[in-house]
Amino acid sequence: MPRSASRSDGEAPAGATTTHVLRLEQTWATRPTRLAGLGLDPVTESAYHVLLEHPSWTSAELAGRLEVEVATADRLVHRLKNLDLVRPSADGNRVRPVNPRLGLTALAARREAELADRRHELEQGRLAIADLIAGLEEVQPQRGGRIADVCWGARNIRSRVAQLADAATSEVIAMSISTAAQPDESVIPTAIRDDICYRFTFADTRLPEPAFLAQLRTLAQDGAEVRVGRVPMSVLVVDGATVVLPVSDAAAGQTVGVATMWLPSAVAALVELFERVWAEAIPLDQPPVDDATTPGPRERDLLALLVAGTTDESAAYRMGISVRTVRRMVSELMDRLGARSRFQAGARAAERGWLRPPAGGS
């Protein structure tokens, strides 16, 4: 163990500044990582491996091993807690890693479920676009022969969005897939008026950046209703009559223009999509609702066994109940979770924090 780990105050050695943290990140970034697909960056993965080797260390001891400041180690531990890979000890002073067989399996299930949801949302967006294109072919030109136009460049994008928002008479709704610290100027107007209803839905993220949250709270303080949830695409709708869609350069990963449309079928399809996203989204800063259907200890044991890949017969033997009882409990849990498969039930149980190591397991 490096000499710094023996310091009694738990602080990193002199010189363990932001520069040293960046150097640590660069060092680990060059090493192969096998958990990136589960949401762990190289530095967080390194902290996870250290805690697996030392399952009763404090954040200060972790800081000493990694040669970083205790505050940095605390942030790494916080990330791992959010991923349900570590938990505090009973006295709250130490960090205990979750059994990797359970923790990583549940995390993989959550990521798989998230990817499935994203694919479904993307398909919804594609269907909306297909309806839009079909409508363009069927509807006679409107607004003096103009049903859509496109403007290019950052300055023109800001000007177009501001112009349309300023002309609003009742409501401005928008959803944005961006989680950047700066507002998505292709769909989010910067000026909020008291006489207009604003509803904005932003993409939820497990570890939101403080600057991103500050942006959303500023919009809320200015009078907009703000929610976060699963957002399939970015779009702005003004007064239920005008739609703005960003035009992106996929190679550069940048928005290079916006398309403005007044086609009724396109507006109706995108408003319907927004309302579905809005209904499922959560108001900004609202704490999770306590679920009255939270499972009991035996049901938690069963869920953990199923996520770990245990068969019904093996689960019944380990829990001391009949196979028939196991299957009945699984069916009831799937109904309560609204799951169509056992895999989906495990993923949703993990998202709700229902999982724990199985009784009698390691």
- Taking only the tens place, the pLDDT of each residue in 125-147 is 666 666 665 555 455 444 445 57
Q: How many residues does the chain have?
A: 362
Q: Is 207 left (phi over 0), alpha (psi -120 to 50) or beta?
A: beta
Do the Cβ atoms of 327 and 316 come closer than 8 Å?
Answer: no
Rounded to whole angstroms, the Cα distance separating 243 from 258 reads 10
- pLDDT for residue 121: 72
User: In terms of pLDDT, which residue wins out, 290 or 8?
Assistant: 290
Q: Supply the pLDDT for residue 331.
A: 86
- Looking at residue 41, what DSSP letter applies? -
Q: What is the mean pLDDT of the chain?
A: 76
Token pair, residue 202, equals 């932003």
For the chain, what percent of residues have pLDDT higher than 70?
76
Enter the tokens of residue 171.
């409501």
| Contacts by residues 149-154 (CB-CB < 8 Å, ≥ 24 positions apart) | 149/259, 149/260, 150/247, 150/257, 150/258, 150/259, 150/260, 151/257, 151/258, 151/260, 152/247, 152/256, 152/257, 153/256, 153/257, 154/185
Q: Which residue type sits at 276?
A: R
* Kind of pairing between the strands at 282-283 and 235-238: unpaired
| pLDDT tens profile 240-266 | 989 988 887 665 667 888 888 888 888
What mean pLDDT comes out for the span 52-58? 87
Q: At 288, phi and psi to the nearest 5?
A: -55, 140
Listed ranges 15-19, 131-135, 327-331; the one with the highest mean pLDDT: 327-331
Question: Residues near 319 by Cβ (< 8 Å), separated by ≥ 6?
Answer: 298, 301, 302, 305, 326, 359
278-298 pLDDT, tens digit per residue, is: 888 888 866 444 444 667 777
What's residue 358's pLDDT?
Answer: 42
Place of tokens 């924090």: 353
- Return the number of other C-beta atoms located less than 10 Å from residue 4's C-beta: 18
What is the Cβ-side half-sphere exposure of residue 314, based on CA atoms within 13 angstroms?
11
Block residue for tokens 């972790």 = 62
318, amino acid identity: R
* 27 pLDDT higher than 60: no
What is the C-alpha separation between 333 and 312, in angstroms, rounded? 14
- What end-to-end distance do the CA atoms of the chain give, in Å? 27
How many helices (H) and strands (E) the chain has is answered by 12, 10
pLDDT single digits (tens) 195-230: 889 999 998 876 567 788 888 888 888 888 999 888
* Amino acid at site 63: A
Among residues 194, 157, 149, 189, the alpha carbon closest in space to that of 172 is found at 189
Q: Which residues of 271-281 are buried (b: 16+ CB within 10 A; e: fewer)?
A: bebbeebbeeb
Task: List the beta strands (DSSP E) in the chain.
Answer: 86-88, 95-97, 148-152, 171-176, 197-203, 225-229, 235-238, 242-249, 254-261, 282-283
Phi (first) and psi of residue 237, to 5 degrees: -125, 130
- Please name the residues in contact with 5: beta carbons below 8 A apart, sequence gap of 6 or more: 61, 64, 65
What's the pLDDT at 298? 79
Q: What 3-state class would DSSP assign to 130?
A: helix
